[in-house]
Amino acid sequence: MYTETMKTAFVYSDECAKFDYGSSHPLKPFRLKLTYDLITACHLLSSQDPRLVKPLIARVEDLLTYHTKDYIDILRAVNTGEYVAGAEAYGLGPGDNPVFPGVFDWSRLIAGASLKAADIVDSNEAAIAFNIAGGLHHAHTSQASGFCYINDAVLVIKLLVKRGRKVAYIDIDAHHADGVQEAFYGTDKVLFISLHETGQALFPGSGFEHEIGEGVGKGYSVNIPLPPEIGDELFVHAFTEVVPHLVAAFKPDVVVSQLGVDTFRGDPLAHLNLTTNGFCHVVRMIKAMSSKWVALGGGGYDIANVARAWTLAWAIMNDIDAPEGIPESFLQRYPDAGFLIRKLRDEPFVIDKRKKEGMRKEVDRVIKYIKEQITCRI
């Protein structure tokens, strides 16, 4: 049983926000400090419970539980920010996964924060631990991908499985969690669930409903590809129809979730049209099914949306009603951060009825397939 003095833990340091992918890159680590500062401005981190925990630096041995030695060696070699011959074979270079000063240090810090969160939860120090910097779910064993260099979600799950835990992984990022799926496609110790915009429209082009695992893992990979522009109602519908039942049947010891918010309206890299209303509904459902919960951040490229959404998620984790308005002192501190909405919560966004009915048919087709192919196996 967790101690009464530490029910939740927020794993964070400003060091997480000090790295820079480059001025033109869509992933801005600064969004992490923006989120932390909004959480503190809303007085959601002002007591012993919840508790702020500084991350540890992941050891190279930790990284090698999933990633190959040659990949770790090349990642260490480019830590200066200078290109090294052959790095492109590992997905490193101009574009999605740039070489920047401290790229290896950044990767170890983020991985260490997620591993710390997992250890806090598994050792019963807290029921919930949230690392907003984590959730870098695209990295592969020997390759950076989709802004992700080290797959901290995989490292967390591997740690927990090694300790004998059954893990349910729930990913609500707009992009398919291909790196995590790949790592656990052949095991029945991990229930993998990813809701995402269809790979027909979005990177990484995978995560179709027929990807259900292999060998003893057949039926333990669950993909819910969604049409673009789906909005809150149908996203929540898809989640509700599939996820709670599967998690209840699997009976995990720990839930690990990736709470990416590139699903939101206005995000420059995806098109799912969610608002804080649908996001918070799903976060509450994850909390309700999780006696032990390791929560990770993820995507989100409108930094104001990121800060608002993860502030609300943290409030939900602590059973606290977040304020309606964003504190004026915070807005004055960050006048150029894009807070066009001066409230934490969005107004509902209504999808055209005819368009929504067409999308509902596709969502229900996927749900029907999953219920026929997956539900009977777990």
* Active-site annotation, residues: 138
Tokens 């000063």 found at: 101
> In whole angstroms, how far apart are CA 178 and each of 150, 207, 324?
13, 7, 36
Query: What DSSP string describes 35-69?
Result: HHHHHHHTTSS-SSSSEEEPPPPPPHHHHTTTS-H
Identify the burial level of 274 via C-beta atoms within 10 angstroms of its C-beta, where 0-12 means exposed, 13-18 middle and 19 or more buried.
buried
Q: Cα–Cα distance between 63 and 306 in angstroms, integer? A: 27
Residue environment code for 241-268, b if the CB has 16+ CB neighbours within 10 A, otherwise e? bbbebbbeebebbbbbbbbbbbbbbebe
Return all residues near 336 (Cβ < 8 A) that are at least 6 apart: none
For the record, the structure tokens of 121 come out as 């939860």
Element (H, E) at 95: none
Which three-class secondary structure state does DSSP give residue 255? strand
